[in-house]
Structure 1
Amino acid sequence: MKTKLQAARLARQWSQADLMDAMEDAAERLAVALPARSSLKTQVSMFENGRRAPGSDYQAIFCEVYQSTRIELGLALETAPSQLEALPTLPSPRALSPQVNPEVLTYLQSIFAQHAQAEPLVGPRFLVPAVQSQVPLIEQLCKDASSSLRQDAVHIGARYSEFLGWLYQDTGDSQAAMLWTNRALDYAYELDDAVLSSYVFQRRSNIAAEAGQAGYAMGLANAALRNPRKLPNQIRAVALRARANAHAQLGQSDECARTIDEARALVDKATDDDTLAPYCSHAYLDMEAANCALQLQRPHEAVQTLEASLTRWPAEQQRDRGLCLARLATAYAQLEDVEGAYATASQAVAIAQSTGSARIFAELGRLQAHLTPWRKLVEIAELNRLLGSMKGD
């Protein structure tokens, strides 16, 4: 009986030599060391025959090569025992948990809404402890609730877990981000909620893409879009954005452009019914399209798109505005507009400091490499000094 790993190779009409070529390319992208070719061939045969389970490094490589999820390849779940040990230690309630009732669930929903409203303005640093402190109560409610109240409790658990995953992603902790997002997917599966599952899959795709695993990110984005007719327009659009980003990282410019255009058309049709991705506006898609242009080495396109996007950026989306500014500064630097890069980066730095967003800081780090030829200029030296001080925080 063929394993899913072997079936994935045969579906592509690859020989084992073809697979090993692809594995070596993926390992170089992921900075993973592979054994000698003869030893690798033995390992691959054992994995495909089911005589040995691939470890975490091999799982990551197979997901990258086949652009598929671990479940699709018949591999273990993301939460390997060694990774589970990295989960934050959660405080246990010392008192008896409150009785499960609609009032307690309404309280948790209102607190969540306040956290979500504050997050774009204040960033993740101060919200992670507040959000995580609610998790033990939610888990206890899920355990104690029954019938319709359990459905509501599990849905709240999914939202809090996904949100906590996002907060960890914005702090730069991709492992914790993926672990909490996986937990949200567990909740979504229990609910049999296709919309919520799709949203969580595209969130996982985002995390994988930012970790440099473009092939895996593509597989997760495809999973998010598996049943597109069941999805609200904004959910489809934000999942298409994840797919476009993976296309850009893989150098697939035509596919990237088509996917972004499809997402824009869906935003035009969006209604107010979608509460999971209200941020997926034209300004948001413009920023993401510009990021794709930067990855495809097209700074002129990025500048035009970002400059237009910033004129209509919502004031309450302060953190994303900072990311938009940082990407614009990178585009200016690629075009050797040093003055524009410095002025724009200075604004992004201020937002990075106030929100603690590691994603803004990472983009500013990419900018520094492009400003190296002008590092002796007073302004650029001061910018580098400031970024260096932030790195030590």
Structure 2
Amino acid sequence: MEFARRLDAALGAEGVLALMLEPQAVMISQAREPFPNPDATFDLSWIESFHADTASRRSYVSDALVRPDVQDQAIESFADLLDRLKSLGQVLAPSNVMPMLVPQVVILVKLAQRADDRIAPKVWRMASRFADYAGWMAQEMGSDETASRWTDQAVIFARLAGDNDAVAYAYVRRANIALYQHDARMTVNFAVLAQKTQCGSYVQRLACQREAQGYALAGDRHSYIKAMARAEGLLANEPDDEPQRVQLGSQRMSNPLRLAKGWSLHDLGLSEDAVPFLRDEYDATHASNRRARARIGARLALALAASHKLDKAAEVLEDILSGVRTIESATIRADLKSVNRILNRWHGDESVLRVSPILSAALMPSASIEG
């Protein structure tokens, strides 16, 4: 498939060769409801048993926490806690973050069950945000099945809260999982379903971005351009203070469309065109955001290597690989494996010889943090 995309780009074939390999890549007629039906209930026992060795089984809600004068302050504190956990997720392995994340979901569910009608929707919304982030961390740990299950839980909580934005965003998350599985058809399917869900412009824009990336993965440049244009239009008219947007997602990028364009151009076989977009986003991402910087850096190194700019690719790899060894990201490792395959074609190059040992070490299972 990768070779077909590069041939498409070289011949100006508009994805014809890639579509011959995957003719159903962008059909959306079979799109279906992937989440629990509206009458589904949450599975607290599954959440509690997710980490049997954490405090999740011992979590409880004291009588004081359900007092009306305490509840609003508690919700604000949980929001602050989630922001801090997301910051920790930028520098720690997901296996270190999950034991701190899961018990909060249990507490919030139990609090929502005891809360009055005024506060309960707020609590369910917060539980949805925590469950959504648990899905991100599960994906980073390399378990797409567990990530999808957490996303299902987030949808159930969001529906109890009456939060359509979170329901639509869950489709975006599923599209993200499909994108990393190199499943163009399902990436587009889920992105389209998100756009069919009533939600704000922020989530609509994210859905358009994912749709564009799905088309790019399929080699369909024409559909990619149209979907990306819709995303750009939504971003231009997106209010800065859209409610709840700050709590959706894992980490803000300085320019998410710029990153999506660079990502997509590489998938379209236009790696040299992708480099400036990825480079700008990489340079704009602060070194303290290790996970985000490593993710963008891995994709930048991949585009550089595919463009035969081996020395530049090696420079980026040397910059990010020390961080990769501590954050244990399955999604980043997937890109780095692709980089490694390309570099192996040029194993005699001086830059490749310099970076190959540390790249190989970063890809070894023993490179992860223990304890």
TM range (shorter): 0.7 to 0.9
TM-score (norm 2): 0.78
Higher mean displacement: 299-308 or 107-116: 107-116
| SS of residue in 1 equivalent to 2:58 | coil
Q: Give 2:8's aligned residue.
A: none
Q: Give 1:343's aligned residue.
A: 315
Q: Give 1:275's aligned residue.
A: 246
Q: Give 1:312's aligned residue.
A: 284
Residues 202 and 238, structure 1, Cα contact 8 Å, conserved in 2: yes
How many residues align structurally? Answer: 328
Structure-1 separation of matches of 2:301 and 2:337: 11
Alignment of 1:290-369 (within 5 A): 290-369=262-341
User: Structure 1 residues 342 and 96, CA, compared in 2 at 3 Å: closer, same or farther?
Assistant: closer
Q: Paired residue for 1:379, among 331, 354, 364?
A: 354
Q: Paired residue for 2:164, among 181, 186, 194?
A: 194
Structure-2 separation of matches of 1:194 and 1:85: 23
Q: Paired residue for 2:225, among 257, 282, 286?
A: 257
Q: Give 1:35's aligned residue.
A: none
Q: Give 2:152's aligned residue.
A: 182
Higher Rg of the two aligned structures = 1
Please tell me the root mean square deviation across aligned C-alpha atoms, in Å.
3.3
User: Structure 1 residues 281 and 357, CA, compared in 2 at 3 Å: closer, same or farther?
Assistant: closer
User: Structure 1 residues 71 and 371, CA, compared in 2 at 3 Å: closer, same or farther?
Assistant: closer
| Equivalent position amino acid for 2:137 in 1 | L
Q: Give 1:389's aligned residue.
A: 364
Q: Give 2:111's aligned residue.
A: 141
Residues 248 and 293, structure 1, Cα contact 8 Å, conserved in 2: yes
1:198 shift after superposition? 1.5
User: Structure 1 residues 139 and 94, CA, compared in 2 at 3 Å: closer, same or farther?
Assistant: closer
TM-score (norm 1): 0.74
| Equivalent position amino acid for 1:389 in 2 | M
**CA displacement 1:219-243 (0-9 Å, x = unmatched):** 2111111156x413x3222121111
Residues 101 and 130, structure 2, Cα contact 8 Å, conserved in 1: yes
User: Structure 1 residues 337 and 391, CA, compared in 2 at 3 Å: closer, same or farther?
Assistant: farther
**CA displacement 1:47-95 (0-9 Å, x = unmatched):** xxxxxxxxxxxxxxxx9874513459x9xx9x99xxx799724532376
Q: Which has the higher contact order (CA 8 A, sep 6+)?
A: 2
| Equivalent position amino acid for 1:255 in 2 | S
**CA displacement 1:318-369 (0-9 Å, x = unmatched):** 3212111111111111122221111111222122123222222211111011
Q: Paired residue for 1:122, among 82, 92, 96?
A: 92
User: Structure 1 residues 95 and 187, CA, compared in 2 at 3 Å: closer, same or farther?
Assistant: closer
Determine if the alignment matches structure 1 residue 88 to structure 2 residue 50: yes
Gap runs ≥5 in structure 1: 1-21, 30-62
Q: Give 1:45's aligned residue.
A: none
Q: Give 1:215's aligned residue.
A: 185
Identity rate, percent: 18
